[in-house]
Amino acid sequence: MSLDKTDSIFKVAVDAMGGDFAPRNEILGAIQALKESPGFELILVGDKEKILSVAEEENIKLDEKIIYHATDIIDMHDKPIAAIKSKPNSSLVIGAQLVKDKKADAFVSAGNTGAVAAVSTLLMGRLANVERPTIGSYFPSRNNSTFVFDVGAFVDVKPHHLFGYAVLAKIFVQELYNVPNPSIGLLSVGEEEEKGNKLVKDTAALLRETDLNFIGNIEGRDILDGKCNIVLCDGFVGNIILKFGESVPSFMKYLLKQHSETSLLEKIKIGLFKNTLKKALSPLNPDLYGGVPLLGINGISIIGHGSSSPVAIKNMILRAKEMNEKKLLKKFEEALKNYAEKK
């Protein structure tokens, strides 16, 4: 495939080899996105033969021209930064490179999170006034719009990094989720100012000096309670909370299964209730939100869970499209410049 960005149509490069169920879920998700929201150009980056063979299995007529052949795959065992050198012909590196070369407007991948973040950052570069890019994640909550930043881009951070995350997250949540002036809480071990580690105390001091809607420290319980829209923490804490949270539904299932074995009646009751429970707990389904964008880089890069379903992939593509339509990169730059000048 040869690509030229001669027209203004939005082009999204999808890492067809990224997830645990690649390329099947990637192909299915991308095709769904095209059906649901046409008007963009799809580029499937990956092993041409495999992509075509899976498409055939799924009875999808795929125009060969939308495939950008990549011979290699970066997997979960590859070290993020080394991968760019050791596997230059991987779908992940080529996909990010397409954005760098302006042959695509966005990159979507359900591959190794660390590698997608590192490769996207290295190839696309950072926006002005960004020292550290950040990955945020949607959390189900009572306010339906709670996001935790950071969930794993970097584990050793400084107060000014967290401040930068806050600025990016504010624009992201405001523009994409229509929350005016989103509230920002700093994750700590108590609400009182004196509670927390040094990072929390120093970051709070920075945040208080700005016009950001900073509500102070929040506690672990306040995330699901939806006490604020943006929960700020370092990537170490955020990643642990995210993975803990993701393990809750399967633990619930386990407890229900254990209990169903206590009596036949309970087993029947649980069987009858299964669908209702599934529907009630559907807000916990991460597929609805698809992946999360890597914020602070000079391009659009959406990172999905390894186990991303077709729906998740579809939503990641639509999210990328929306970020482009709403000119988020430009808005990030303006906000960052604005806060940098005020310092």
Q: Which residues bind a copy of itself (CB under 8 A)?
A: 79, 140-142, 152, 155-156, 187-189, 194, 196-198, 219-225, 233, 235-237, 239-248, 251-252, 254-256, 258-260, 262, 266, 269-270, 272-273, 276-277, 279-281, 283-284
DSSP secondary structure string for all residues of 133-169:
-EEEEEE--TTS-EEEE-SSS-SS--HHHHHHHHHHH
Closer Cβ to a copy of itself, 224 or 335, answer by number: 224
Closer Cβ to a copy of itself, 5 or 201, answer by number: 201
Closer Cβ to a copy of itself, 10 or 236, answer by number: 236
Closer Cβ to a copy of itself, 97 or 308, answer by number: 308
- 10 Å CB burial of residue 178 (0-12, 13-18, 19+) is exposed
CB of 239 to a copy of itself, least distance (A): 4
Amino acid at 32: Q
Amino acid at 301: S
Provide long-range contacts, Cβ within 8 A and 24+ apart, for 280-284. 281/249, 281/252, 283/140, 283/144, 284/140, 284/248, 284/249
Closest to 74 (Cα-Cα) out of 47, 101, 60, 93: 93
Closer Cβ to a copy of itself, 125 or 220, answer by number: 220
Closer Cβ to a copy of itself, 68 or 139, answer by number: 139
Closest to 91 (Cα-Cα) out of 70, 112, 77: 70
